[in-house]
């Protein structure tokens, strides 16, 4: 089961459960929206027993285009974070926002890699749909 199981809420002897609080960034993101999700994640972390809480800012690079400049709030959140924060982006961020992070860049995948990944997700989706339809009967 390992990390995959933990990410889906199943406990494993050597790992903590991981609870993801997600925030979908966009050019319409606001400082208040990001702060609100951060506070929700912190409260969840304070009340959870044995689970690690992670705030995931999905497509964080899109928030760079917001006139509200919501990513400025990251400076304060990353000084001494109470929870883990992950920012996922296909866009390069401002260097001031990247100086407190690890940048992982992946090369463009090959066609074989894309086919393998697509086949895996198709198999998982078919399995999940099969389980749901079996459970419903």
Ranges of each domain in the chain: 2-105, 108-137
Place of tokens 């999940």: 128
| Long-range pairs for 94-97: beta carbons < 8 A, 24 or more residues apart | 94/64, 97/71
pLDDT for the residue numbered 91: 78
Taking 70 as the pLDDT cut, the residues of the chain under it are 1-16, 97-106, 124-137
pLDDT at 99: 67
Report pLDDT digits (tens) over 5-43: 545 555 555 556 888 999 999 999 999 999 999 999 999
Instruction: Flag whether the pTM goes above 0.95.
Output: no
**Residue 56: phi, psi to the nearest 5?**
-105, 115
Torsions phi, psi of 135, nearest 5? -70, -30
Tell me what pLDDT residue 59 has. Answer: 92
Interior CA angle at 27 toward 23 and 30, to 5°? 60
Residue 2 is predicted with a pLDDT of 44
Minimal CA–CA distance to 26: which of 78, 106, 103, 89?
A: 89
Tell me how many helices (H) and strands (E) the chain has: 5, 3
Beta-carbon contacts of residue 77 (< 8 Å; ≥ 6 apart): 38, 85
């Amino acid at each position: 089961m390992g990390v995959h199981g933990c990410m889906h809420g199943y406990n494993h002897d050597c790992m903590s459960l991981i609870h993801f609080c997600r925030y979908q960034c966009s050019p319409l993101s606001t400082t208040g929206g990001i702060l609100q999700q951060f506070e929700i994640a912190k409260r969840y972390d304070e009340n959870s027993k044995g689970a690690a809480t992670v705030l995931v800012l999905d497509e964080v690079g899109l928030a760079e285009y917001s006139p509200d400049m919501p990513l400025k709030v990251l400076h304060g959140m990353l000084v001494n974070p109470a929870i883990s924060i992950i920012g996922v982006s296909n866009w390069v961020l401002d260097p001031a926002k990247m100086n407190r992070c690890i940048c992982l860049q992946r090369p463009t995948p090959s066609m074989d890699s894309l086919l393998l990944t697509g086949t895996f997700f198709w198999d998982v989706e078919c399995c999940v749909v099969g389980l749901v339809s079996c459970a419903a009967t």
